[in-house]
Structure 1
């Protein structure tokens, strides 16, 4: 599975304002009708219809409808109505549905928004229902748990990674690094060498700054974090300024593309990204993007740990991220049936064999083992990497607080300002942190 391309900044800002405004309206609706939330009328033996919403491409739609059919075959009195589409319209539609008291029963949820919806009472506490979580990785289970209960059950896990295109390295006559020992200085040197030995327009690495993963790794390696357990930012302006200062050094060494090329790359689809088209040696990605990128590249890509400050793999401070959650509306009229379907998705081998790694590596250890032989070579590579780094992981990061959905857009916007030299790293750090604090405190 691949993570859908992020929208342009202006679109992201409009979407976020709409999501927050509608979520606030949803809070009023939920509060006014809380006395009836979660009711489960006695069934007369007739069919129950549940609505299931998710985002994703055509392949995901095919696989998910196949798993629906498998569930319905075993539960003939429960019918699942699919509602799916691209990731952009998905969040606008969901916010509107919640505000109108018309949310789907089963909701594919993202880490960016789970706190927003959970804290407003929009999601069901799944721990109160018969769902087996005994085979789930602890970090994955914790990621969907808060003071509001278990409001999201991990559908897949991944990790921040560096992807490398071996063909770019081969053409430049540069060896792939040993990712268990390399440092950030090694990365800068190798990337600059690839650029110098490659045709014009090919760079050693894509620039970072397009998402929170690379910043999260950098902060963790420096004793900080994106967020704290108290729902605050876990870093100061100087911390992110250092991250941008290093990016500027990479640009000065021509290890990464120019500012205008970075902006152009942000608008490209995943299959047109530099690591897929052979114009970047490295890329900062999530592990579950490897299969789609390999398909686009038409050949193998290498999956690597991030560099570290010390050259020790144990100091890389990677973590398992929940790629998506299975959540449920707190307003569902059929919580028992909804929980039954989520339990099927999470624990049934038939579901595991259908979905495989479409939403990331299966967080259920039994299903992961049972389906390993059915995975594609690319998915097997991801599973192997996820297992390989298990003993090197840092502490599980605190979940994003309310309002964190806009943080990625803020990071991206100020990265561009720094690359175009419109702001110094220190100036960008101060402005960005002020905006971030305002977003998560309002």
Structure 2
């Protein structure tokens, strides 16, 4: 069932109008300008405080107020503020929300900044581009990899291979490894006689109905495509896509190496909790989740790249952009702030503090993020960086996603529970999804 918040946000987006004027920025005494910069990550605020201090030192007439709005409220509030004409001067923009905001005229064209798109990760540029123009300055990116419990691997006498592979028929190293790591209460593995699938103590893998870190990666790695083009149509109802989604289900119901969907299906799934509790050996997760997982895990965490499918490895990359409100009272100052946030100095600062991989391309910049996690958390995150240099794809850049996503989750919950087939699920999802595209 669609939540009231999402229904409100979707309806409000349809009504967006820029007839109202102004933003939350204000004019301070002495001619100083105060800009409001809205984000949703409380942890990143600590790092951004340092970034803003450097910006304000170089621009003494501009002050920046960082406003943190939790993800659960962020988009509803941003939509309402845009409708009211009081959106913050600068704010984070995410790929699945970008089409709605840019097509409604909420975002300012950043062409005057003269940013060189070739210097940033191409996927992050694409997810902030509309009609050939940049409307979000590439800030950073994150992507899924396999977090794994090194203690469980050692206990099983196993090591993470250099490359994980999978295929719809279950062949490849992923299923094989997951079987060896899955143990029932009697100490038996799924391929052994007497194994009890109803009494599993430790699961080898966590397969869940999560688009960004799971089934979308299976689809793209099996030769399917989520959409035909940016601002186009959904296309993942072909056989390759259905086979890929079925593979995710098979890890649960056929190979018995993953917790049942009754425990992991959204919105109340406990997949991350099970990994932190040592009940799951391998857990696909975006690197942005590390600050929330690592502190609660009492075991050593390893990182591996996503498995390669029949068409190789294709992994989702989720890039954020810094957007300027089209009706900001202080457009020049807001543009100046965004240009600084897109600079090497600002992005290196955030990387060195361990908050994010920079949107700017360059191992010298990204290495700061890798070094932070290795030196302070004893976690080698370099597989994420290596993965980003291969084949990557964006979340669907289409209008209507914000209203469609809850329905998509509901449809795929039915697939993961075995109530409908994967083919039925992708057909229904694409039909309903395309009906929402304007």
Normalised TM-score (structure 1): 0.82
**Retained in 1: the 8 A contact 2:357–2:366?**
no
- What does 1:51-90 correspond to in 2, within 5 Å? 51-57=36-42, 59-90=43-74
Cα distance change of structure 1 residues 16 and 237 upon mapping to structure 2, 3 Å threshold? farther
Which position in structure 2 is the counterpart of 1:253? 255
- What does 1:195-234 correspond to in 2, within 5 Å? 195-196=182-183, 200-229=200-229, 230-234=231-235
Which position in structure 1 is the counterpart of 2:386? 388
**Retained in 2: the 8 A contact 1:290–1:382?**
no
State how far apart, in whole Å, the 2-side matches of 1:354 and 1:421 are. Answer: 43
Describe the SS at the equivalent of 1:218: helix
Which position in structure 2 is the counterpart of 1:5? none
Q: CA deviation at 1:44?
A: 11
State how far apart, in whole Å, the 1-side matches of 2:99 and 2:402 are. Answer: 10
- What does 1:101-140 correspond to in 2, within 5 Å? 101-129=85-113, 131=115, 135-140=119-124
Cα distance change of structure 1 residues 421 and 132 upon mapping to structure 2, 3 Å threshold? closer
1:163-190: per-residue Cα shift (whole Å, max 9, x none)? 2212222233444233266666221232
Match of 1:20 among 10, 19, 23: 10
- What does 1:281-296 correspond to in 2, within 5 Å? 281-296=281-296
1:353-403: per-residue Cα shift (whole Å, max 9, x none)? 256465530122467168458623178966622442355325x54752111
Cα distance change of structure 1 residues 436 and 60 upon mapping to structure 2, 3 Å threshold? same
Which position in structure 2 is the counterpart of 1:364? 360
Q: Which moved more, 1:135-144 or 1:363-372?
A: 363-372
State how far apart, in whole Å, the 2-side matches of 1:231 and 1:74 are. Answer: 42
State how far apart, in whole Å, the 1-side matches of 2:227 and 2:15 are. Answer: 26
State how far apart, in whole Å, the 2-side matches of 1:180 and 1:263 are. Answer: 24
Cα distance change of structure 1 residues 136 and 383 upon mapping to structure 2, 3 Å threshold? farther
1:194 and 2:198 correspond = no
Describe the SS at the equivalent of 2:357: coil
**Retained in 2: the 8 A contact 1:326–1:342?**
yes
Structure scoring higher RCO (CA < 8 A, sep ≥ 6) equals: 1
User: Structure 1 regions of 5+ residues with no counterpart?
Assistant: 1-9
1:228-280: per-residue Cα shift (whole Å, max 9, x none)? 2152103216444323422332223211112322238944485x2x2222111
Match of 2:428 among 414, 426, 431: 431
1:46 and 2:27 correspond = no
Which position in structure 2 is the counterpart of 1:4? none
Q: CA deviation at 1:132?
A: 6.0
Normalised TM-score (structure 2): 0.83
Q: What is the Cα-based RMSD across aligned positions, in Å?
A: 3.4
Match of 2:337 among 341, 351, 354: 341
**Retained in 1: the 8 A contact 2:27–2:33?**
no
State how far apart, in whole Å, the 2-side matches of 1:374 and 1:72 are. Answer: 28
1:155-211: per-residue Cα shift (whole Å, max 9, x none)? 111223222212222233444233266666221232233223676342111123222
**Retained in 1: the 8 A contact 2:263–2:269?**
no
Which position in structure 1 is the counterpart of 2:397? 400
User: Structure 2 regions of 5+ residues with no counterpart?
Assistant: 188-199
Equivalences, count: 417
